[in-house]
């Protein structure tokens, strides 16, 4: 059986092969027409989900219904007004949005000197820590086919747009390594004895960040390109809650090691997004903002992505069963039949 992506990308070659076997080549055009309709329907579904979430948010102050689970650490008190990260970055000459805007556009930036070393130090710290916890470090491509960014829930159009698409191709820049890590095992049946599969992905991330965020768009809070590490777990459905909690605990451990005060918030239904069934955010204390701000999230998306990407597992008896993907930062887990 040919993969639909292969048919889509090599239509003439497939037609030639079908014709040489004496079959009707018009079937290929029918298949591709159905594929195009399916992809358009996926976009419409994602758009409707996004609209539903926006309406729910407009009807009630969703963020006020989010539940604070616990806090850790005491925010430091200063005898002076704390500077925000943008002012500090400019003063130290390590963060430069002006050159980013000149070369690329608004909400892009340059890092210099110690800014680069700090980002790499944080990345290496997290990768080393998670590798010791059994997570396999993975550096993924920054591009993915539409099947994967749509199948994981990232819509390229509308007010909830995230994905930058590449004209003339079936590719988009990933908004998170969750897209490529989910795609890595698409159309596979994973033996039960290999589960759980634990990954920590490292990638550049690109997001359109459509919509207005007011004061929370300042500086590094809302940018179009950044690097990110992301925990992502393939596991059995019955283990999804356990691994969801594991990722949250590792997330907390990282901020405790860095001695950054934080709080854990469980998101209400209106703030879950299209694919998540349960989601926790970690919000750290930001002295320049004089408030907590979200820096990480981890979500359980049950079987949303696994069903879209045809990811299954086979139990010890040789039977094929649902399977759960769990991801992090980019967030979530999934299971599929």
Which is higher by pLDDT, 218 or 245?
245
333 pairs with which residues across the strands? 326
Whether pLDDT at 45 is above 80: no
For range 144-166, the mean pLDDT: 80
Which pLDDT score, from 0 to 100, does residue 302 have? Answer: 75
Of the listed ranges 175-189, 201-215, 231-245, the one predicted with least confidence: 201-215
Whether pLDDT at 39 is above 60: yes
Which pLDDT score, from 0 to 100, does residue 154 have? Answer: 78
Which is higher by pLDDT, 4 or 76?
76
Of the listed ranges 104-113, 211-220, 272-281, the one predicted with least confidence: 211-220
For range 171-198, the mean pLDDT: 94
Query: What is the model's pTM?
Result: 0.74
Which is higher by pLDDT, 101 or 27?
101
Whether pLDDT at 3 is above 80: no
Fold for the domain defined by 65-82+119-336: BirA Bifunctional Protein; domain 2 (3.30.930)
Whether pLDDT at 151 is above 50: yes
Q: CB-based burial of residue 96 (10 Å sphere; 0-12 exposed, 13-18 middle, 19+ buried)?
A: middle
Confidence of residue 59 (pLDDT cuts 50, 70, 90): low
Confidence of residue 269 (pLDDT cuts 50, 70, 90): confident
Which is higher by pLDDT, 336 or 52?
52
Which is higher by pLDDT, 140 or 327?
140
pLDDT tens by residue, 194-208: 999 999 999 999 998
Which is higher by pLDDT, 317 or 65?
65
Which is higher by pLDDT, 121 or 42?
121
Which pLDDT score, from 0 to 100, does residue 124 have? Answer: 95
| Domain spans, the chain | 1-59, 65-82+119-336
Write out the chain in H/E/C secondary structure. Answer: CCCHHHHHHCHHHHHHHHHHCCCCCHHHHHHHHHHHHHHHHHHHHHHHHHHHHHHHHHHCCHHHHCEEEEEECCCCCCCCCCCCHHHHHHHCCCEEHHHHHHHCCCCCCEECCHHHHHHHHHHHHHHHHHHHCCCEEEECCCEEEHHHHHHCCCCCCCCCCCCEECCCCCEEECCCHHHHHHHCCCCCEEEHHHCCEEEEEEEEEECCCCCCCHHHHCHHHCCCEEEEEEEEEEECHHHHHHHHHHHHHHHHHHHHHCCCCEEEEECCHHHCCCCCCEEEEEEEEECCCCEEEEEEEEEECCCHHHHHHCCEEECCCCCEECEEEEEECCCCEEEEC
Which pLDDT score, from 0 to 100, does residue 110 have? Answer: 97
């Amino acid at each position: 059986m040919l993969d639909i992506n292969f048919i889509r990308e090599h239509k003439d070659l497939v037609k030639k092969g079908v014709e040489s076997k004496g079959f009707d080549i018009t079937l290929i055009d029918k298949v591709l027409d159905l594929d195009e309709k399916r992809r358009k329907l996926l976009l419409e579904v994602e758009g409707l989900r996004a609209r539903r979430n926006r309406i729910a948010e407009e009807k009630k102050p969703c963020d006020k219904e989010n539940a604070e689970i616990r806090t850790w650490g005491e925010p430091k008190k200063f005898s002076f007004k704390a500077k925000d990260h943008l002012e500090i970055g400019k003063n130290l000459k390590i963060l430069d949005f002006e050159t980013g805007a000149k070369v690329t556009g608004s909400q892009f930036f340059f890092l210099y000197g110690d800014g680069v070393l700090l980002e790499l130090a944080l990345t290496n710290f997290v990768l080393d820590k998670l590798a010791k916890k059994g997570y396999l470090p993975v550096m993924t491509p920054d591009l993915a086919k539409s099947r994967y960014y749509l199948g994981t829930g990232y819509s390229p159009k509308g007010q909830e747009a995230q994905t930058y698409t590449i004209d003339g191709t079936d590719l988009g820049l990933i908004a998170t390594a969750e897209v490529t890590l989910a795609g890595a095992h698409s159309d596979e049946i994973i033996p039960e004895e290999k589960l759980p599969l634990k990954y920590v992905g490292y990638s550049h991330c690109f997001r359109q960040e459509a919509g207005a965020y007011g004061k929370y768009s300042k500086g590094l809070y809302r940018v179009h390109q950044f690097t990110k590490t992301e925990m992502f777990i393939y596991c059995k459905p019955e283990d999804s809650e356990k691994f969801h909690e594991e990722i949250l605990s590792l997330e907390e451990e990282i901020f405790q090691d860095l001695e950054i005060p934080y709080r854990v918030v469980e998101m209400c239904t209106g703030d879950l997004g299209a694919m998540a069934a349960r989601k926790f955010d970690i919000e750290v204390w930001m002295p320049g903002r004089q408030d907590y701000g979200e820096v990480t999230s981890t979500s359980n998306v049950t079987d949303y992505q696994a069903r879209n990407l045809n990811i299954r597992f086979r139990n010890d008896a040789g039977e094929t069963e649902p399977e759960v993907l769990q991801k992090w930062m980019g967030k979530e887990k999934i299971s599929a039949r």
